[in-house]
Structure 1
């Protein structure tokens, strides 16, 4: 006797969440089910027995919230009728898509794939993979099949407003930025007469950017005391302090190599390959090492001096620690949604600005490029000599915030 499946309710669909570390499948019966992914994205799928071949197959019907439960059920009945008539829904979908592509030329997705070939050469591999996943999750399901010539501001604003409605303002901002890059690519290669999305940012509300959580400098003593008392190994604690006093990003801090450290010159040279940014714009960054940074290195030399990396991996000493180690530790000691490893850079910036340090020098300490692109092209100064006392000033403040020796 076949298993009786209880139909889904609108509330069950709205409240559906991933299951453990995998996806969650909620059946509505007659082949229709809701697939909930780890990122909470929800899509409707239809499972059916192939009418002209052995076995079963699945086809995606749509995603929430664009396709409601009622819409999914209606689509299911249409596909069940097709199967009953001997038509394979997936094969038919492919046939129609190919026919449409021949009629309308390039789809947004097809153009995006061509754009991706160029984009991959401009950014790091991990960065591109992250950007492409955003497009796969949020753009292609709602606009990927559109002919490129039908992409315009009203269409994009309507199709992507669900991200703002879900409170994902930064995600929407990034997706819109990539979409505008794709249409610009289409314009450059003669697929469009002009870029129709030049002014698209004005079509959305101007929400504040979601910055990395951070704490004010006045709370640094409490943080350092919480870190001292935390049940974390000494290397993780020193990693957090190293990132704090050097003002670098998480990915740069864990990839520090002994070969990049010059103790005599009190310098840490970070090769451009390890720096954030587009490949053609990245440049080497030299960090002046304060007394506090050197003290951390001396402590780490006794622990990992035989390894290539300062913060070597526990299981494989030939590689480095995970860039998320500091984040996880900070979260574990009670600073979830209050501070991140990247947010520690903001503590330094706030303190130094409040103390009256030169803004350009502070930005150079953070390895930030100026927002004025024209000025950045001509101004190649790294303010290295002027950064030396500023980095020491910051190191001294961090040490003054600790009740106990910073490196104990």
Structure 2
């Protein structure tokens, strides 16, 4: 077909109903009230017509560019119609992701705010175990209240703590998904919660050693393994396990240990470094760990077998080996109960600060910013003296009411 046979804007306006060729497979099917563009090609011996849009929406120049684009696809050995379908499916997936993709997107956006990027607290675990295997492949926009009721109902009563985490994380994903622009409706989750009913979560009390038995326990924890030394430091300082397991020598300055916020409980964005005053007995453990260390300047106080921080399971195995029913995290309760039973109420704020608990409401905290370091130092030395038997404490228990 020569240049004079190609279509022009004038020819198109004057054309009667029928099919007109522009060359290289581009055709216009003219109708009384408009028309549509076609790209005709042959692949594997089969002729195919590919629609390129209506005459009203696509100009002649645009139709030629589209024809050239798909002709290049054909020249590469691919079927233009099949390739366009694949592209549209990929675009639809981006605009309407599966639930699994939506969860991955939201988790990727927030994990930098979580401790250990969400792995320490296993943020994804409730969803990976109980939700995504059942409905993760579904487009998030297609999920309805009944779908969430179906996947959450089996754990709503049997595993209420896990169910609460699964629900709250799904709810977060749908709210953020809606803000991104996905066609998801957080109200479907709110309705599911109403149908599922109230969650009955019983507080799980961690087994704690009686404070009266703390001196005997400290003696039984004697030894120079990482597990035993870490447990002794936990008992003397009442810090959380993550803080002690990851402790490094360069975090300790004199008698002050500064736990970096990455190992302090709470959302990473809201957490701050935590100052821990060390008693003379705690400092002796640090000195012992330094003597045994291959890296006494910046290394771990309590390395595991592979040079990583000692694991929580290693601590549990150590207390189990000596037949101790109290759990490492329960040492915090041991300390707090000792304060409650043996000291007057003037030590309560220092004790709560020593445990890293939030004291007072937001307004009070805005003005009262002390971490009671001096009071805590005296209190923790008093506790360490009791635990190690370096002071004799005569305890008069409060009479019971009645």
TM bin, normalised by shorter chain, reads 0.5 to 0.7
Q: SS of the counterpart of 1:382?
A: coil
Q: Which moved more, 1:129-138 or 1:245-254?
A: 129-138
Alpha-carbon distance in 2 for matches of 1:180, 1:357: 43
| Structure 1 residue aligned with 2:179 | 188
**Distance verdict in 2 for CA 1:134–1:240, change over 3 Å:** same
Q: Could you say which residue in structure 2 is the equivalent of 1:329?
A: 318
Change (3 A) 1:245 1:106: same
Match of 2:329 in 1: 342
**Cα distance, 1:358 vs. partner?**
4.4
Residues 154 and 326 (structure 1 numbering): CA distance in 2 closer, same or farther, change over 3 Å? same
Q: What's 1:212 paired with?
A: 206
> Which string of whole-angstrom CA distances, capped at 9 and with x for unpartnered residues, describes residues 138-165 of structure 1?
1212332454456566653442122245
- Corresponding residue of 1:386: 375
Partner of 1:137: 129
Q: What TM-score, normalized to structure 1?
A: 0.61
The answer on whether the counterparts of 1:153 and 1:203 sit within 8 Å (CA) in structure 2 is no
Aligned partner of 1:276 in structure 2 is 265
State the shift of 1:115 in Å. 0.7
Gap change, CA 1:259 and 1:181, over 3 Å in 2: same
Contact 1:187 1:195 (8 Å CA) reproduced: no
Corresponding pairs, count: 297
* Structure 1 contact 119–128 (Cα < 8 Å) conserved: no
Moved more, 282-291 or 102-111: 102-111
Structure 1 residues 84-123: aligned runs within 5 Å: 105-123=96-114
SS of match in other structure, 2:323: helix
**Equivalent position of 1:311 in the other structure:** 301
- Residue equivalent to 1:238: 229
Deviation at 1:240, TM superposition (A): 0.8
- Note the residue ranges of structure 1 that are not aligned, 5 or more in a row: 1-94, 404-408
Closer, same or farther: CA 371–334 of 1 in aligned 2, 3 Å: farther
1:224 aligns with 218
Contact 1:269 1:287 in 2 (8 A): yes
Task: Tell me the distance in 1 between the aligned counterparts of 2:328 and 2:189.
Answer: 35
Relative distance call for 1:139 and 1:374 in structure 2 (3 A) is: farther
CA gap of 1:400–1:382, structure 2 versus 1, over 3 A, is same
**Contact 2:130–2:151 (CA under 8 A) maintained in structure 1:** no
The question of whether the paired residues in 2 share the 8 Å contact of 1:217 and 1:350 is answered with yes
2:385–2:391 contact (8 Å) kept in structure 1:
no
Q: CA deviation at 1:292?
A: 1.9
Find the aligned partners of 1:181 and 1:107 in 2 and give their Cα distance. Answer: 16
Query: Residues of 1 paired with 2:391 and 2:170: CA distance?
Result: 47
User: How well do the aligned residues superpose, as a CA RMSD in angstroms?
Assistant: 3.6
How far has the Cα of 1:346 moved from its partner?
A: 2.0
- Which residue of the partner structure matches residue 163 of structure 1? 155
Computing the radius of gyration from Cα coordinates, the structure with the larger value is: 2
Contact persistence 2:237–2:278 (CA under 8 A) = yes
Equivalent residues in 2 for 1:256-295, closer than 5 Å = 256-263=247-254, 266-295=255-284
Correspondence list, 1:16-27, <5 A: none
1-structure distance, mates of 2:162, 2:390: 36
Please tell me whether the aligned partners of residues 114 and 267 of structure 2 are also in contact (alpha carbons under 8 angstroms): yes
User: Any conservation in 2 of the 1:309–1:320 contact (CA below 8 Å)?
Assistant: no
| d(CA) in 2 for partners of 1:378, 1:367 | 18
Give the structure 2 partner of residue 39 of structure 1.
none
CA distance in 1: counterparts of 2:97 and 2:284, whole angstroms: 59
